[in-house]
Amino acid sequence: MDHRRHIQNESPEPVGRRWHALSVVSLGLTVLLTVVILVLVAADVVYLLRRGVTAAEFWRTLSSPAVLGGIRMSLLTSTVTLLLVLCFAVPIGYALSRYRFPGRAVLNAVLDAPIVLTPVVVGLSLLAFFGSPLGGWIRTAVERGGWTLDSAIGIVLCQFLVSVPYCIRATKASFEEVDRELEHVALSLGCSPWSAFRRVTLPLARSGLVAGGVMAWARAIGVFGPLMVFVGTSPRVTVMHTAMWLELNTGNIETSLVIALVALALAGTALSLVHWLAPGRKWL
């Protein structure tokens, strides 16, 4: 009885106060961080305006062959990477969500590794691999086919290795949300395993898969470090971020900022798309 009175009389107020304080702090920090990011973006625009960069000049810089070439290469390679990523991430995410097997935890950790490593490690590891006998044999085979690795192929390889873990995580989470009983019912209603996947699992996981793809694409388009290490900075392998770096190194801060704003616009669009397609997803 005493215990009940204690709960009734004393518990609600402190809890209410605590939650109130927590809400204020967390919302305050959210607003603060948002303002910081927006201020940084605004600083880019203000800098350009103070340096007398007009809209006409902005467009002229943007349409210069070097900048436009970098943007075009980024869009092209990241789109190819996205297709490649989906080809791997959808089946792997499905397998990881559905099957239990020995070593699954280790496999998960290995597949997630590129997320926690600095992307430069990917470039370094690719350099080391293609310097090995097996890698050398693959490099020769590629060159016999009339291609080279320090081309769009190398860019796609770097982008793929950096971005595929993000998409695998997203697809795995999406498939885990689909009730297995629905697949079982589909099998009993006349579906083959593939047909059940196509008609039931895939449509139900669709928004998560699309969001995972957009996330992987955004990650791919932002890859920079591994490219500097593995494919270099020659004009034919210049992507948006390499162009930005090269312009900065030659003192063209205005051109560099113009490219940065384009990259920000693309990233903002991609992330808005993710939140619109998959609001409230656990993995976002």
Partner 1 sequence: MALTVLRVRGLHLQVGSFRVSDVSFDVPQGEYFVLMGPTGSGKSLTARCVAGLIPVESGTITIDGRDVTHLEPRRRGVGYMPQHGALFPHLDVAGNILFPLRVRGTAAAEARAAVAPLVNMLGLGELMGRRVGTLSGGERQKAALARALASRPRLLLLDEPLSALDEPSRREIGKELRRAQRALGIATVHICHNTEEARALADRAGVIHAGRLVQTGPLDELQRQPASAAVARLLGVSARGQE
Task: Enumerate binding residues for partner 1 (CB under 8 A).
Answer: 179, 181-182, 184-192, 195, 199-200, 203-204
Return the number of the residue (204 or 228) whose C-beta is nearest partner 1: 204
**Minimum CB–partner distance for residue 86 and partner 1 (Å):** 20
Residue with smaller CB distance to partner 1, 2 or 181: 181
Write down the least CB distance from residue 215 to partner 1, Å. Answer: 22
Nearer to partner 1, 75 or 187 (CB): 187
Q: How far is the CB of 180 from partner 1 (least distance, A)?
A: 10
H helices of 145-252, in order, are: 152-177, 180-188, 193-196, 202-221, 225-230, 240-249
**Shortest distance, position 205 Cβ to partner 1, whole Å:** 10
Helix %, strand %, coil % of the chain (to 5)? 85, 0, 15
- Taking the complex as a whole, the smallest distance from the CB of residue 198 to partner 1 amounts, in Å, to 10
60-67: which pairs have CB atoms within 8 A and are 24 or more residues apart? Answer: 61/254, 61/255, 61/258, 62/258, 62/262, 64/255, 66/235, 66/238, 66/243, 66/246, 66/247, 67/243, 67/247, 67/255, 67/258, 67/259
Q: Between 62 and 191, whose beta carbon lies closer to partner 1?
A: 191
Question: For residues 51 and 184, which CB has a smaller minimum distance to partner 1 in the complex?
Answer: 184
Q: How far is the CB of 164 from partner 1 (least distance, A)?
A: 27
Closer to partner 1 by Cβ: residue 6 or 180? 180
Q: What does the buried/exposed string (b/e) look like for 174-199 if buried means 16 or more CB atoms within 10 Å of the residue's CB?
A: bbbebeeeebeebeeeebeeeebbee
CA dist 278 and 208 (Å) reads 6
